[in-house]
Chains A and B, each alone.
Chain A
Amino acid sequence: QKEVEQDPGPLSVPEGAIVSLNCTYSNSAFQYFMWYRQYSRKGPELLMYTYSSGNKEDGRFTAQVDKSSKYISLFIRDSQPSDSATYLCAMIRGTGGANNLFFGTGTRLTVIP
């Protein structure tokens, strides 16, 4: 079993829809959670970063963490065609160490105008 599981998609939604992207993890040592957005043929861009269980909002994006269920989500409200990208969840253990970032497999999202 992989340490981080992510719905691979692809996911296709109409413009204006609410998008929900999800990851689960098995290792309770993960304490910090990120969402990266990666456009085709570009590097991953850090979108959201959270630590605590609960919600963190930034504009149209909300990151949600449920440590008791080992489940994280990214919600995109009023989705736009420019949101079409691959979204990667990533997690960091709290204990440090150079090999410390674990990625999900990525979900490819297409927002149709």
Chain B
Amino acid sequence: DTEVTQTPKHLVMGMTNKKSLKCEQHMGHRAMYWYKQKAKKPPELMFVYSYEKLSINESVPSRFSPECPNSSLLNLHLHALQPEDSALYLCASSQDSISGGASDTQYFGPGTRLTVL
């Protein structure tokens, strides 16, 4: 099973709202990732959790707040977003993120399409 699930599929929110995106994997992977993807562009890395600890924050604005409650779950809390934050938000996981090679192969979820009004 190489499935990563994400909820919700679609989200529309106003600039003053607070919402959360959720991601789950049951592959025993110890690294989980959040990406942002704009139309016709490749995914851009936002955050990496390795063994439930935040290991990478790619200079993401504080209106995006990640959380890793356990090794299977990853959340992205959203607050005071801007219309330019509208995008497809992708979660991915890999066996780990420190060994290199095959264990770094990432499996992606279907994404949450976020629209900020």
Contacts and interface: CB of A to CB of B under 8 A. Distances in A.
Given A43-B110, A105-B41, A97 B102 contact: no
Q: Which of A43, A51, A101, A104 has the most CB of B within 10 A?
A: A43
B104 A32 contact: yes
Interface residues of A, number: 28
A44 B91 CA distance: 10
Given A43-B108, A43-B110, A45-B108, A98 B97 contact: yes
Contacts of A92: 100-101, 104-105
Contacts of A43: 4, 6, 88, 90, 108-111
B7 interface: no
Contacts of B55: 98
Nearest to A4: B42
A99 B42 contact: no
Interface stretch (A34-42, A55-63, A70-78): A34-42
Given A43-B111, A103-B43, A98 B50 contact: yes
B45 A99 contact: yes
29 contacts: A31-B101, A32-B101, A32-B102, A32-B104, A34-B105, A41-B88, A42-B110, A43-B88, A43-B110, A44-B90, A46-B2, A49-B105, A51-B101, A92-B101, A92-B105, A93-B100, A96-B100, A98-B50, A99-B56, A99-B58, A100-B104, A101-B104, A103-B42, A103-B43, A105-B41, A105-B42, A106-B40, A106-B41, A106-B42
